[in-house]
C-alpha cells in the first residue's frame, strides 16, 4: 500500500467524493468497482475507455501511465488463452470493451475460460453447469466473435504453448519489451533500464553508415570496441571514435560553415570532400590504399581486398592478423587526414614509419 497526498481533495469543493487529504492505492478497487476493482490493473486496457469523471487526477495519471507501459502484444497461442476478457481494448462489442460482474464472479476471466484447446467456444452445457442462463451465453458468444483475426490465426496453428495454460502466474505483472515481468521481482533499477531500452534510438552517425552500406549487417558493438583492442594510443582511439561518429571536419562541412571557399577535395580538387570521398574514393586515397594492399600481400596477410566498409568502419572478417590489420587501417586513415591538413600526398612510407 502506498499513501500519497491528494492535493485536489484539499481544495474545498474540488472533489466532494473524498473527505480526507490522504488517499491510498487500496482505495482504487472501490472507486473502480465498475471495472472489476483491482482486476483493471491486469487488463489490457486503453486509457480512453475508462471514465475518469469521479477519479482524482492522481489515479487518472497512474492508470494512463500503467496502460501505456503495460501495452501487451499477443504473439503466441498461450498469450491468447491467457488474455483477460474484461476491459480489453481489443475485445469490443458496440465499439467498447465489457465488464460483466456476474460472469466474472463465476470465474470467467481469461479467454481459456470460454475456449477449448482447439480455439473453439465451449458448449452451452458447460456454461449452464456453472449456473449461467442463455443471455449470459449469448454475451460469451459475442466475446468469442470479437476476438481479433490475428488471435484466431494463432489459435488455429499448432503451438505447444497450449499445454502450458495451467501454468498461469497469478502475480501482477508488467509487459515490457515483449516480456512479462512480475512486479514482485521488479526493482526500480530494472524498471528504469527496461524503459530506457524502449526509448533508445540509433545515433544519427550509425544511421548514416547503415544507409551507405544497406547490404551489410553492421555489428556496432564490435566496431566500437576495435580501437581499444588494436591500439593503446589515445589520439588514434579518439580519431577512430570521431570518424565513427562523423565528427571529422572535411571541406564539405567547412564550406557550409563558411570557413573555406570551396567544398572540393583537398587532394584531387575534383569532387566534393565528404568523409567517404576523402578516405576511400579520392584517386589519391585509392593510390595510397592500393600500395598498402600490395604491401600487406608481400607480408602474407592473406586478404583478398580492402573495400569501403573495411576502410571506413573496420575489418571485421576473421583473419589471423585481425588485430594488426585494423591497427594499420586506422593508422592509414590518420596518415590521409594529417596529409590533408598539410596539403601533401599520403604515401606508404608515412605508414610504415608509424607502424615500425
- Strand 22-24 and strand 173-176: the pairing is unpaired
pLDDT score for 334:
96
Domain assignment present for residue 199? The answer is no
Give CA–CA dist 343/354, Å, rounded.
Answer: 19
Domain assignment present for residue 95? The answer is yes
Same domain assignment for residues 108 and 56: no
In the predicted structure, residue 23 carries a pLDDT above the cut 60: no
Same domain assignment for residues 265 and 226: yes
Give CA–CA dist 108/127, Å, rounded.
Answer: 10
Give CA–CA dist 145/216, Å, rounded.
Answer: 45
Same domain assignment for residues 316 and 346: yes
Give CA–CA dist 267/339, Å, rounded.
Answer: 9
pLDDT score for 18:
40
Question: What is the arithmetic mean of pLDDT over 132-160?
Answer: 83
pLDDT in tens, 180-220: 677 677 788 877 887 777 777 888 999 999 999 999 999 99
Among 115, 144, 168, give the residue marking a domain's end: 168
Question: What is the arithmetic mean of pLDDT over 222-245?
Answer: 95
Task: List beta partners, residue 21.
Answer: none
Same domain assignment for residues 57 and 100: no
Q: Name the most confidently modeled range: 22-36, 43-57, 65-79, 338-352.
A: 338-352
The overall average pLDDT reported for the chain is 81
Among 30, 49, 69, give the residue marking a domain's end: 69
Give CA–CA dist 162/208, Å, rounded.
Answer: 44
Q: Which residue has the higher pLDDT, 166 or 101?
A: 101
pLDDT score for 172:
60
Q: How many domains does the chain have?
A: 3
φ, ψ of residue 353 to 5 degrees: the values are -65, -30
Task: List beta partners, residue 110.
Answer: 84
Give CA–CA dist 156/151, Å, rounded.
Answer: 9
By residue count, the chain amounts to 356
In the predicted structure, residue 3 carries a pLDDT above the cut 60: no
Same domain assignment for residues 220 and 326: yes
Tell me the percentage of the chain whose pLDDT exceeds 90: 38
Q: Which residue has the higher pLDDT, 19 or 79?
A: 79
Give CA–CA dist 274/226, Å, rounded.
Answer: 23
Question: What is the arithmetic mean of pLDDT over 137-151?
Answer: 88
Domain assignment present for residue 180? The answer is no
Among 46, 69, 92, give the residue marking a domain's end: 69
What distance lies between CA 5 and its chain's CA centroid? 35
Domain assignment present for residue 198? The answer is no
pLDDT in tens, 244-302: 999 999 999 999 999 999 999 999 999 999 999 999 999 999 999 999 999 999 988 88
Give CA–CA dist 351/356, Å, rounded.
Answer: 9
Domain containing residue 290: 209-355
Distances (CA, A) of 96 to 49, 59, 66: 7, 21, 20
Question: What is the arithmetic mean of pLDDT over 4-10?
Answer: 42
Domain assignment present for residue 181? The answer is no
Amino acid at each position: 500500500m502506498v499513501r500519497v497526498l491528494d492535493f485536489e481533495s484539499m481544495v474545498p469543493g474540488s472533489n466532494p467524493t473524498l473527505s480526507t487529504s490522504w488517499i491510498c492505492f487500496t482505495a482504487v478497487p472501490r472507486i473502480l468497482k465498475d471495472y472489476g476493482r483491482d482486476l483493471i490493473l491486469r487488463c489490457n486496457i486503453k486509457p480512453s475507455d475508462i471514465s475518469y469523471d469521479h477519479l482524482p487526477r492522481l489515479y487518472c495519471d497512474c492508470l494512463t501511465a500503467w496502460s501505456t507501459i503495460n501495452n501487451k502484444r499477443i504473439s503466441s497461442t498461450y498469450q491468447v488463452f491467457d488474455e483477460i476478457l474484461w476491459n480489453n481494448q481489443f475485445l469490443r462489442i458496440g465499439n467498447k470493451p465489457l465488464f460483466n460482474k456476474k460472469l466474472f464472479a463465476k470465474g470467467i476471466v481469461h479467454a481459456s475460460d470460454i475456449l477449448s484447446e482447439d480455439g473453439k467456444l465451449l458448449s452451452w452445457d458447460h456454461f449452464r453447469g456453472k449456473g449461467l442462463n442463455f443471455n449470459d451465453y449469448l454475451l460469451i458468444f459475442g466475446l468469442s466473435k470479437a476476438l481479433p483475426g490475428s488471435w484466431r490465426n494463432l489459435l488455429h496453428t499448432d503451438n505447444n504453448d497450449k499445454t502450458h495454460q495451467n501454468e498461469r502466474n497469478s502475480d501482477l505483472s508488467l509487459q515490457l519489451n515483449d516480456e512479462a515481468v512480475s512486479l514482485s521481482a521488479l526493482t526500480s533499477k530494472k524498471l528504469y533500464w527496461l524503459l530506457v531500452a524502449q526509448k533508445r534510438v540509433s545515433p544519427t552517425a550509425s544511421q548514416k553508415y547503415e544507409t551507405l552500406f544497406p547490404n551489410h549487417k553492421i555489428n556496432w558493438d564490435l566496431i566500437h570496441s576495435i580501437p581499444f583492442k588494436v591500439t593503446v594510443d589515445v589520439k588514434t582511439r579518439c580519431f577512430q571514435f570521431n570518424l565513427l561518429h562523423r565528427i571529422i571536419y572535411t571541406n564539405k562541412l567547412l564550406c557550409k560553415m563558411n570557413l573555406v571557399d570551396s567544398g572540393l577535395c583537398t587532394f584531387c580538387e575534383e569532387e566534393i570532400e565528404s568523409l567517404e570521398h576523402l578516405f576511400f574514393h579520392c584517386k589519391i586515397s585509392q593510390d595510397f590504399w592500393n600500395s598498402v594492399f600490395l604491401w600487406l600481400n608481400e607480408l602474407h596477410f592473406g586478404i583478398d581486398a580492402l573495400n569501403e566498409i573495411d576502410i571506413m568502419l573496420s575489418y571485421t572478417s576473421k583473419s589471423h592478423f585481425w588485430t594488426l590489420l585494423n591497427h594499420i587501417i586506422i593508422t592509414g586513415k590518420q596518415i590521409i587526414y594529417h596529409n590533408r591538413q598539410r596539403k601533401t600526398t599520403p604515401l606508404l612510407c608515412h605508414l610504415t614509419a608509424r607502424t615500425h
